[in-house]
């Protein structure tokens, strides 16, 4: 195969497997198999501003890389910042629509737009730097300079499927790897990262994710040139290469393990993973782990299962009774411990809705801020019905 000709594997609609392993499903499974199982149950998802910012930047970079510049003059300048803003505005609006269509959402933060434009500009500077164009403002980027970037882009966004149909990955960018003399020496898989950059080397999960892309590309392109995989962190404009052996065999083994069953997968409660798990209202295991002293109780922000005692929907004041787990399936017993809470924004709206529907069951309180005996629940918090899921609800 000539360098530049790329095979993406079987196209969409030609799935020869019922389910596939992607880097994100792999990570989720490794963190906690139950978390992966719950993520596949079509439960209501959560959205937040970091997701909005990340998606808007990714989609804008893709559009800008594919933008047709054939009719522009080589010396034209000043077009890139305007085009970048217009492209971002378009994707920002699309993300905003998705955000407001998602029931589990915090408050919309308009000023996050500035973070998105900053991230997009930094991604463009990283692309310029890749073709050795440094210290130039975006307003001074000529079409000739941009053509240099276009010359190294093999693909902007692409979905790869292994020929066996088991593995799937979405690439942000596939670039030509160019040496100092300008000769192409291989391919670079680029994954744009809009989150926090690593302090030293890449985390194990990101490293594995990048190698997954690299190895999947190798798997479906038998005559591939040398391939490197890099994470590009827009926040501080740093590039981190993922190095290590092939992950393909492990990926195939994991594929065998993630086939969904009717009963939930094993849960492996752990402080950090449970802290950021969006499925706690459907999982009894973190609550049992707290009760058994495996996970810490409290902290500045707490997750609890409670019974509503009093509620003033107008004032946003409520009192709750803490519930303790009984058995392994999420059944509860009263504890006699009560506390008062101030509610605002998302959790207040959620409780108002449940209250108006006449819901009287137990509630999951996510991320309540502790202030002495009082809890504060604001944009960062959630109130959901407590509904431990013990059997698959997939159709």
Q: Is 28 in the site for ligand SF4 (CB under 6 A)?
A: no
Tokens of 113: 């737009």
Q: Is 364 in the site for ligand SF4 (CB under 6 A)?
A: no
Q: Is 325 in the site for ligand SF4 (CB under 6 A)?
A: no
From 83-91, 147-155, 197-205, 275-283, span contacting ligand SF4 (CB under 6 A): 275-283
Measured between alpha carbons, how far is 339 from 344 in angstroms, rounded to an integer?
A: 17
Measured between alpha carbons, how far is 331 from 111 in angstroms, rounded to an integer?
A: 43
User: What is the DSSP annotation of 187-216?
Assistant: EEEEEEE-SPPPSSSPPHHHHHHHHHHHHH
Q: How far is the CB of 32 from ligand SF4 (least distance, A)?
A: 3
Measured between alpha carbons, how far is 212 from 229 in angstroms, rounded to an integer?
A: 9
Enclosing H/E stretch for 182: none
* The binder of ligand SF4 chosen from 6, 21, 38, 61 (CB under 6 A): 38
Nearer to ligand SF4, 75 or 262 (CB): 262
Measured between alpha carbons, how far is 183 from 226 in angstroms, rounded to an integer?
A: 13
Number of residues counted as binding ligand SF4 (CB under 6 A): 14
Q: What is the largest CA-CA distance in the chain?
A: 75
From 27-35, 214-222, 236-244, 246-254, span contacting ligand SF4 (CB under 6 A): 27-35
Site string for ligand SF4, 254-273 (x = CB under 6 A): -------------x-x---x
Measured between alpha carbons, how far is 298 from 302 in angstroms, rounded to an integer?
A: 5
Q: How far is the CB of 308 from ligand SF4 (least distance, A)?
A: 22
Q: How far is the CB of 282 from ligand SF4 (least distance, A)?
A: 8
Nearer to ligand SF4, 38 or 343 (CB): 38
Q: How far is the CB of 329 from ligand SF4 (least distance, A)?
A: 13
From 140-148, 231-239, 276-284, 327-335, span contacting ligand SF4 (CB under 6 A): 276-284
Which residues of the chain form beta strands (DSSP E)? 153-161, 168-178, 184-193, 227-233, 238-241, 301-312, 317-326, 331-343, 363-371, 374-377, 382-385
Q: Is 281 in the site for ligand SF4 (CB under 6 A)?
A: no
Which positions lie near ligand SF4, rule CB under 6 A? Answer: 32, 34-35, 38, 267, 269, 273-274, 277, 279-280, 283, 285-286
């Amino acid at each position: 195969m000539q360098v530049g000709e790329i095979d993406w594997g079987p196209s969409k609609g030609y799935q020869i497997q019922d389910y596939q392993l992607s880097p994100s499903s792999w990570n989720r499974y490794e963190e906690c198999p139950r978390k992966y199982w719950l993520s596949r149950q079509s439960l209501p998802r959560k959205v937040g501003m970091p997701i909005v910012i990340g998606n808007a930047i990714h989609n804008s970079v893709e559009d800008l890389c594919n933008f047709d510049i054939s009719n522009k003059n080589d010396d034209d300048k000043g077009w890139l910042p305007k085009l970048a803003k217009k492209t971002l505005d378009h994707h920002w609006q699309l993300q905003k629509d998705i955000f407001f269509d998602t029931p589990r959402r915090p408050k919309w933060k308009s000023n996050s737009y500035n973070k998105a434009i900053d991230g997009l500009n930094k991604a463009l500077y990283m692309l310029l730097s890749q073709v050795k164009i440094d210290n130039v403002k975006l307003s001074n980027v000529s079409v000739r300079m941009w053509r240099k970037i276009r010359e190294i882009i093999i693909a902007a966004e692409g979905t790869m499927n292994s020929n066996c149909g088991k593995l799937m990955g979405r690439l942000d960018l596939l670039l030509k790897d160019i040496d100092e003399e300008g000769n192409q020496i291989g391919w670079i898989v680029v994954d744009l990262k809009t989150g926090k950059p690593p302090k030293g080397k890449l985390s194990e999960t990101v490293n594995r994710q990048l190698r997954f892309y690299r190895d999947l590309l190798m798997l479906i392109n038998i005559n591939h040139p040398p391939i490197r995989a890099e994470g590009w962190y827009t926040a501080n404009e740093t590039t981190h290469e993922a190095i290590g052996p092939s992950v393909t065999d492990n990926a195939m083994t994991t594929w065998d393990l993630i086939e969904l069953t009717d009963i939930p997968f094993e849960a492996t409660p752990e402080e950090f993973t449970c802290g950021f798990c969006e499925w706690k209202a459907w999982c009894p295991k973190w609550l049992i782990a707290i009760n058994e002293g495996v996970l810490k109780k409290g902290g500045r922000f707490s997750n609890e299962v409670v019974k509503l005692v009093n509620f003033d929907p107008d004032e946003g004041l409520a009192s709750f009774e803490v519930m303790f787990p009984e058995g392994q399936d999420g059944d509860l017993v009263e504890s006699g411990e009560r506390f008062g809470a101030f509610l605002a924004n998302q959790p207040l709206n959620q409780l108002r809705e449940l209250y108006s529907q006449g819901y009287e069951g137990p509630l999951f309180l996510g991320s309540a801020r502790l202030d002495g005996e009082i809890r504060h629940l604001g944009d960062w918090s959630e109130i959901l019905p407590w509904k431990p899921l013990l059997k698959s609800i997939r159709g």
